[in-house]
Amino acid sequence: MQRIGFIGLGIMGKPMAQNLLKAGYPLVVYNRSRSAMDELAVEGAVLAESPKTVAQQTDIVISCVSDSPDVEAVALGSNGIIEGAKPGLLYIDMSTIAPATARKVYTALKEKGVDALDAPVSGGDIGAQQGTLSIMVGGDEAAFQRSLPVLQIMGKNIIYIGEAGAGQVTKACNQIVVALTVQAVAEALTLAKKSRVDVARVRDALMGGFAQSRILEVHGKRILEGNFQPGFKLNLHRKDMNIVLQAGREVGVPLLGSAQVTTLMDALLAQGKGDLDNAALATLYELLAGIRSDDVTETE
Ligand code: NAP
């Protein structure tokens, strides 16, 4: 059985790594801070001191860290994967990062005989725990075929999109749809509230028609209940909107809706709400509409 390395044991990475262990893969793990590693050691993982030593001991290395500079550091930095990699290693990055960074990592590792895939995910912490993530993959198709048995442990809807960076372009598209739909739901439910009609019934009516969506269902409920405990934090979604806007600039697509919703997110971050769920966009609408003047906590 192939030996797998896993770097980044956060909200997403830890359950993904645990699923690989449960499936019987020998696993070598590295996390920047120690506590998450100790937990995995109890479950049978071998601990490594750096991404470099992970690469030295494994056939496939997976990472799930925060942002583009973090992936660059882990893959190409000092004590990074590139320093420990032997030709034939497969590197799968499952973080959400800029397509341009994914291409840079792909090219640098290719020169060392290492195949790299960008394979960001959708489905949240629940999808990571249940092994039901949607995974969108960019890179060489032969490398994708090689990665499939491992990706199938972590996800269900696994789609090869195209060359390096294509997986991250897909994730950027995903984040546009999520952001603008959250905004639409927040806007609609604020109109309902200020019009003094029953907001729950409005949501029920919309759920049965063409406006139906998972975001109307889940975030609509959060907005109704005033429960903004994350979920997917505004801070992380704002990070993704940076990636979206940068990707649009690179290819010359004005992303009007994305730019606007990013500004709304900035207003929420300025109010110190970055750790709330992204459904907290509704609180800004309510503030602007004069429905609320107060601050919001995680659960009202
Ligand atoms: P998280 O809980 O904050 O975990 C981030 C992990 O990355 C931690 O293990 C952190 O180590 C590690 N890390 C960050 N910078 C690093 C660096 N420079 N070097 C080494 N390790 C570093 O975040 P998450 O929610 O798991 O998200 C991980 C990725 O998945 C992000 O790109 C996110 O956008 C994406 N994603 C998240 C969700 C979600 O619902 N949460 C859904 C889809 C995609 P420490 O423990 O030392 O901080």
Alpha-carbon distance of 148 to 130, in angstroms, equals: 17
Report if pTM > 0.75.
Answer: yes
Alpha-carbon distance of 16 to 128, in angstroms, equals: 6
Which pLDDT score is estimated for 299? Answer: 53
Structure tokens at 258: 């994305």
Per-residue pLDDT of 215-241, as tens digits, reads 999 999 999 999 999 888 999 999 999
Is residue 96 within 6 Å of ligand 1 at its C-beta? yes
Q: Which of these, 11, 26, 29, lies nearest to 150 by C-alpha position? A: 26
Alpha-carbon distance of 30 to 10, in angstroms, equals: 11
Domains of the chain: 4-163 (3.40.50.720), 169-288 (1.10.1040.10)
Is residue 70 within 6 Å of ligand 1 at its C-beta? yes
Structure tokens at 278: 């992204």
Is residue 13 within 6 Å of ligand 1 at its C-beta? yes
Chain centre to alpha carbon of residue 9: 13
For residue 6, list its beta bridge partners: 29, 62
pLDDT by position in tens, the chain (length 300): 899 999 999 999 999 999 999 999 999 999 999 999 999 999 999 999 999 999 999 999 999 999 999 999 999 999 999 999 999 999 999 999 999 999 999 999 999 999 999 999 999 888 999 999 999 999 999 999 999 999 999 999 999 999 999 999 999 999 999 999 999 999 999 999 999 999 999 999 999 999 999 999 999 999 999 999 988 899 999 999 999 999 999 999 999 999 999 999 999 999 999 999 999 999 999 999 999 876 655 555
Which pLDDT score is estimated for 295? Answer: 60
Confirm whether 171 is a catalytic residue.
yes
Question: How far does the centroid of ligand 1 lie from the alpha carbon of residue 11, in Å?
Answer: 7
Question: How far does the centroid of ligand 1 lie from the alpha carbon of residue 12, in Å?
Answer: 7
Which pLDDT score is estimated for 165? Answer: 98
Best substitution site from 62, 64, 154 to test ligand 1's pocket, by max atoms within 8 Å of Cβ?
64
Question: How far does the centroid of ligand 1 lie from the alpha carbon of residue 143, in Å?
Answer: 24
